[in-house]
Structure 1
């Protein structure tokens, strides 16, 4: 494996953390460790979203940069008499990426390794082989011989089940392969933005946020935005990559390495035109590459941010990522670095006058 520099070590620590929706502690602890040195204050809301505050001008506007801590996974619902574990999906899964995949069950006694069981093709009829296996029929094999033995391992209903995958720098070292890019990369962006603002003058108060429960309804974004009451909000997340076989331009246009994606529209919001225009102007002025994207389905934390209190002008900025909502995904390091660069320059330009102009035209 390639030697990890400081940034890659942070990305590895973030993606290795096990944290499905509703059980984000591991990822929150990692994010706090990395963001605290650059914040004046770090605290959580009552649902568990992490908020790191950095003051430039204490009387300036409040700017929120939010990634979500949670990843998709599963929750144990029952154990049968033979010790096989059944589960509820947490977040959106496609059944074809699940079978025979390794998982980790987080129990009161520590981690338990399992695999999502599948029938061998030898026992399937020709018709059955053509059909996708239904999620409701899947189970996790933890090597237990009985329900009692599974319980002795510490497994019980309500335990979190997390996909297992090692962070990997690929042969092209700009290409990074890991679980949970959705959305530890957003958390990494929030960390890095505060880090790069450490010795910069900025005319506002910046909040780097790791929200909880995004994958099950943008929930932590709602509570953390209520806590902060920002003047401008940015949801940073993964976006759809359209640069692999089988995806047409009609479905997705994002290319790895072509810069941050400015989201024009998704199912959770229409991006705020004033914020969008200012971000694009800033990118052009600083020669930062970017690409436009829109998603007919799905949404990001901006969907909750912009509807909080009496409304928050908001924009989603995403990183094109291949194979999201599976055990492992690929993104491009340059896109991460250019997203950070863009947000830092945007924040430096968001003084009270500019925010008023954006909000009220």
Structure 2
């Protein structure tokens, strides 16, 4: 699992630019599924056929990660950028980035006004991304425009690293964790159901790929594979995020205070009973925070019973997210146990 997570996190793929991560996932699944296709939105849909007349089950993991995009180049060759997805400005400053251009990749650094030239009131404020810029070493706008173009995607650089015995750190664990779970389940699944493994696009900017792929597949049941906040570190109260790394994947009962998904009772019962009967560790979560592809899937057509399985992950939406590999492996075990019961 560690090797797969490393491979997935190292691949780029901000929202709308998921080609490389999609190709990697398709390479991993080659020979393990009956069919694969890329739909009009760019979703990867892998099919594993079940028994005739069996249920149709959709597993969805979004491929995209948060990132940046070039929106302006000033006369001195410095780049202004827009944020793609939910990014806290304070994590951007002084980071090294990779810009993906039509001619290959190049490195830049995010800078801003130096603190030595800030007034006292300025030093106490979080610097807005609008006051930052990317330095690619260009001497003027003309040289910069020969190197990059407006709309080029940008990713903050971070290496994949093991922390201690069971933890790993990397960029884009939201949601390459879900992608890794999807790949392993599709490889190992034994079920009477017809199984659709979907790598969705543009989740971070509106659950877009989930909407179109769920409409196309129209499954009898769906499970979204994502991550959730691990509240086991300083600065967060236990009641704000009770899930903890190393205690098993979280079965989400509700997110966004119910404005996202309220897990279908039959799906909830199936997930919990499978975990209990197989002795797979799990946690239950009612979240007031963000949401997942499940929110779009369960409202498709006349409604699709949907659940969410999410390994707890520290520092989500930063380049240094941390997950317990055992939680990821237990998420795979839980979904396989569920599929055997369908």
Alignment TM class, shorter chain as reference:
over 0.9
* 2:152 is the alignment partner of 1:159: yes
Paired position in structure 2 for 1:220: 209
Paired position in structure 2 for 1:353: none
| Aligned mate of 2:167, from 161, 165, 175 | 175
Post-superposition Cα deviations, 1:68-103, rounded to whole Å, max 9, x if no partner, equal 000000111111111111111000011111101111
SS in 1 for 2:151: coil
Residues 113-128 of structure 1 mapped to structure 2, 5 A cutoff = 113-128=107-122
What CA distance in whole angstroms lies between the structure 1 residues aligned with 2:160 and 2:165? 12
What CA distance in whole angstroms lies between the structure 2 residues aligned with 1:137 and 1:122? 16
Paired position in structure 2 for 1:43: 37
Offset at residue 57 of structure 1 (A): 1.3
What CA distance in whole angstroms lies between the structure 1 residues aligned with 2:71 and 2:177? 30
| Aligned mate of 2:26, from 9, 29, 32 | 32
TM-score, normalised via structure 2 length:
0.97
CA contact (8 A) 1:185 1:238 kept: yes
SS in 2 for 1:37: coil
| Aligned mate of 2:100, from 106, 128, 134 | 106
What CA distance in whole angstroms lies between the structure 1 residues aligned with 2:29 and 2:121? 53
| Aligned mate of 2:194, from 189, 205, 210 | 205
What CA distance in whole angstroms lies between the structure 2 residues aligned with 1:128 and 1:341? 51
Residues 1-361 of structure 1 mapped to structure 2, 5 A cutoff = 7-153=1-147, 155-170=148-163, 172-197=164-189, 200=190, 202-267=191-256, 268-350=260-342
The Cα RMSD (Å) is 1.0
SS in 2 for 1:243: coil
SS in 2 for 1:336: helix
What CA distance in whole angstroms lies between the structure 2 residues aligned with 1:338 and 1:270? 23
Offset at residue 296 of structure 1 (A): 1.3
SS in 2 for 1:60: coil
Post-superposition Cα deviations, 1:212-251, rounded to whole Å, max 9, x if no partner, equal 0000000000111112111100011010010000100221
CA contact (8 A) 2:232 2:238 kept: no
SS in 1 for 2:68: strand
Paired position in structure 2 for 1:357: none
Offset at residue 29 of structure 1 (A): 0.6
SS in 2 for 1:251: coil
What CA distance in whole angstroms lies between the structure 2 residues aligned with 1:293 and 1:150? 48
Unaligned runs of 5+ in 1: 1-6, 351-361
What CA distance in whole angstroms lies between the structure 2 residues aligned with 1:237 and 1:35? 19
Stretches (4+) displaced over 6 A: none
Post-superposition Cα deviations, 1:100-146, rounded to whole Å, max 9, x if no partner, equal 11111101111011111133221122211110111222211111111
Offset at residue 185 of structure 1 (A): 0.9
